């Protein structure tokens, strides 16, 4: 707007500052746990925080692998509890003073543990109230002055659902009037709790769908699962997410006691930059934690894992060669090094660090590009976009993630931002970016000349 009265008008233009990319090293785990929400991604950053939500019983696959991840320095875990079919919650129906069904108590945990819960109903301290004593042998809960009156602050259903760690309550709408609809004095146990079966392919598929809404995840693992069909699901999920600039790597384990000749057949059907097959059985969680702890451009090759005292199988040199030639990531115990990753590769034999570096660059370009959506498509706008991408690539080069060619004739990256007349009419700007990720030293060939 043009000024009429003489004076100075100042217009402030804020520089476009792209947000930081999502942190690398976030591991998504899918498996069974003794408690916790089902098919709900939960972010935890410590073992203590994990046990508060899902428990510490390592007989469950999610708990076992999460502990291995945290022992190896995982940055963050996104845990998804999956439950097989056939399980049920233990329950108990309480009758009121008129012998009508008034409230149903149900164990918070599915399975046999719910059958251990004992409930005692007595008269409450205040008139026309009841006292509930609930225990599973370890936890002891007392709730006094409860009533079956929805208008009261001491409404039994409301209090138990908010404060009890053992049971939930449901009002069965007894025909009796208050206070005769209060539970009658009794003592009984919850019944009918059954353990669910093992999670099926469909259960893991549902968990993967939930993880599609977690953009920061870059490693995905189905805990303690050696089923090739589920491995294929994980790989497909990672490949699809990479198309949305949310690149991920799946990790799977071989079967318990699986011979090498059977292991090498797995990668014939699942050869991908997006999947890592770990051998022997029982160490995949440790490898996931190790990869998470490393910078995105660092290779896990010859890095030791923690929390593993022995391997299920100690492969011979010839077996290691077979596994590596097939694109399997093997672990081996070496003197003075501990239990190490022999070579950090995907099932396509690509270095894991190269894939992660590429994914990091993709996320950076996406986050920068999103800041320019809606700005003007003119030479200065395209130049600014190129400048921001160049700045990001220079940071990657300074970190050592991308490098010039070995003869130093080619740069670490090349970037071009442009649009044609047709692109301009359609609101399109194109970015061409070439990067050279740093690679780990896997082999050293030395020549020694013995002189006379």
With b for 16 or more beta-carbon neighbours within 10 A and e for fewer, the 203-242 pattern comes to bbebbbebbeebebbbbbbbbbbbeeebbbbbbbbbbebb
The answer to the question of residue 208 being in a domain is: yes
Domain count, the chain: 3
Beta bridge partners of 255: none
Nearest alpha carbon to residue 251 among 278, 286, 283: 278
Helices (H) and strands (E) in the chain, counts: 11, 17
Is cis: bond before 172, omega within 30 of 0? no
Same domain, 289 and 205: yes
Answer yes or no: is 1 within a domain. no
User: 288 and 252 in one domain?
Assistant: yes
- The mean per-residue pLDDT over the stretch 350-354 comes to 96
Q: Are 246 and 331 members of one domain?
A: yes
* Claim to verify: residue 77 and residue 220 sit in the same structural domain: yes
How do residues 85-135 score in pLDDT, each as one tens digit? 888 899 999 999 999 999 999 998 888 889 999 999 999 999 999 999 999
Please indicate, yes or no, whether residues 100 and 152 belong to a single structural domain of this protein.
yes
What number of other Cβ atoms are within 10 A of residue 402's Cβ? Answer: 24
452 found inside a domain: no
Least reliable range by pLDDT among 6-20, 84-98, 296-310, 317-331: 6-20
pLDDT at 13: 66
Q: Report d(CA 452, CA 129) in Å as an integer.
A: 102
Residues 121 and 249 reside in one and the same domain = no
pLDDT, one tens digit per residue, over 156-210 is 999 999 999 999 999 999 999 998 999 999 999 999 998 888 899 999 999 999 9
User: Does the pLDDT value for residue 429 go beyond 80?
Assistant: yes
Q: Is residue 362 domain-resident?
A: yes
- 239 falls within a domain: yes
| CA separation for the pair 323, 48 (Å, rounded) | 36
The string of DSSP codes covering 315-379 is --HHHHHHHHHTT-EEEEEETTTEEEES--B-TTS-BHHHHHHHHHHHHHHHHHHHHHTTS--SH
Of 161, 189, 217, the one marking the end of a domain is 189
237 and 335 co-located in one domain: yes
Are residues 80 and 208 located together in one domain of the fold?
A: yes
Q: Which tokens belong to 224? A: 């303690």
> Is there a single domain that holds both residue 151 and residue 73?
no
Classify residue 58: in a domain, yes or no.
yes
Instruction: Select from 311, 343, 375 the last residue of a domain.
Output: 343
Same domain? For 245 and 336 the reply is yes
Give the per-residue pLDDT at 84.
Answer: 85
When pLDDT is cut at 50, 70 and 90, the band that residue 14 belongs to is: low
Residue 443 DSSP label = -
State yes or no: pLDDT of 19 exceeds 70: no
Residue 447 lies in a domain: no
Identify whether residues 170 and 316 lie together within a single domain: no
The predicted structure's pLDDT at residue 214: 93
Q: What is the CATH classification number for the domain harbouring 267?
A: 3.40.50.11780
Domain presence at residue 339? yes
- Overall average pLDDT of the 58-84 stretch: 94
Q: Which of 146, 163, 189 is the last residue of a domain?
A: 189
pLDDT at 336: 87
**H-assigned helices in 220-277:** 228-243, 260-269
pTM: 0.82
Range of the domain at 119: 91-189
Give the number of other CB atoms < 10 A from CB of residue 181: 23
Residues 257 and 177 in one domain: no
CA separation for the pair 118, 114 (Å, rounded): 9
Alpha-carbon span 277 to 328, nearest angstrom: 5
> Strand pairing partners for 152?
none
How confident is the model at residue 111, as a pLDDT?
84
Rounded to an integer, what distance in angstroms lies between the CA atom of residue 442 and that of residue 285? 23
Domain at 171, CATH number: 2.60.40
Distance CA 398, CA 269 (A): 39
The 8-class DSSP code of residue 159 comes to H
**β-strands 329-334, 275-279: how paired?**
parallel
241-281 confidence digits (pLDDT tens): 999 889 999 999 999 999 999 999 999 999 999 999 999 99
What does the pLDDT read at residue 229? 96
Per-residue pLDDT for 357 more than 60? yes
């Amino acid at each position: 707007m043009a000024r009429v009265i003489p004076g100075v008008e100042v217009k402030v233009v804020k520089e476009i500052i792209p947000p930081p990319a999502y942190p690398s090293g976030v591991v998504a785990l899918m498996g069974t746990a003794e408690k916790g929400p089902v098919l709900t991604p939960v972010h935890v950053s410590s073992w203590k925080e994990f046990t508060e939500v899902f428990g510490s019983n390592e007989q469950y696959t999610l708990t076992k692998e999460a502990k291995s991840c945290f022992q190896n320095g995982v940055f963050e875990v996104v845990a998804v509890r999956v439950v097989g079919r056939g399980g049920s919650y233990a329950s108990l129906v309480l009758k009121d003073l008129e012998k009508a069904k008034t409230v149903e108590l149900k164990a918070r945990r599915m399975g046999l543990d719910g059958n251990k819960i004992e409930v005692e109903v007595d008269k409450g301290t205040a008139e026309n109230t009841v006292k509930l004593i609930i225990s599973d042998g370890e936890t002891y809960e007392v709730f006094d002055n409860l009533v079956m009156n929805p208008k009261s602050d001491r409404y039994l259903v409301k209090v138990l659902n908010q404060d009890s760690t053992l049971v939930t309550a449901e009002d069965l709408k007894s025909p009796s009037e208050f206070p005769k609809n209060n539970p009658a004095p009794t003592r009984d146990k919850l019944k009918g709790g059954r353990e669910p079966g093992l999670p099926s392919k469909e259960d893991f598929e549902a968990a993967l769908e939930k993880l599609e809404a977690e953009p920061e995840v870059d490693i995905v693992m189905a805990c303690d699962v050696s089923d090739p069909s589920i491995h294929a699901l994980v790989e497909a999920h990672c490949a699809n997410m990479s198309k949305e600039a949310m690149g991920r790597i799946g990790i799977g384990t071989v079967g318990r006691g699986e011979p090498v000749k059977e292991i090498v057949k797995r990668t014939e059907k699942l050869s991908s930059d997006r999947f890592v097959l770990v051998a022997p059985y029982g160490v995949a969680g440790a490898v996931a934690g190790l990869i998470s702890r490393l910078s995105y451009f660092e290779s896990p090759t010859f890095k030791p894992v923690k929390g593993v005292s022995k391997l299920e199988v100690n492969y011979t040199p010839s077996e290691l060669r077979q596994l590596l030639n097939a694109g399997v990531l093997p672990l081996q115990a070496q003197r003075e090094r501990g239990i190490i990753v022999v070579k950090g590769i995907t099932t396509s034999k690509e270095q894991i660090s190269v894939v992660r570096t590429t994914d990091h660059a993709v996320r950076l370009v996406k986050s920068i590009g999103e800041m320019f959506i809606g700005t003007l498509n003119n030479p200065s706008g395209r130049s600014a976009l190129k400048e921001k991408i160049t700045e990001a690539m220079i940071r990657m080069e300074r970190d050592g993630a991308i490098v010039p060619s070995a003869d130093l004739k080619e740069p670490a990256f090349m970037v071009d931002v442009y649009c044609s007349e047709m692109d301009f009419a359609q609101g399109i700007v194109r970015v061409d970016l070439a990067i050279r990720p740093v690679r780990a030293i896997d082999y050293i060939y030395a020549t020694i000349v013995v002189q006379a």
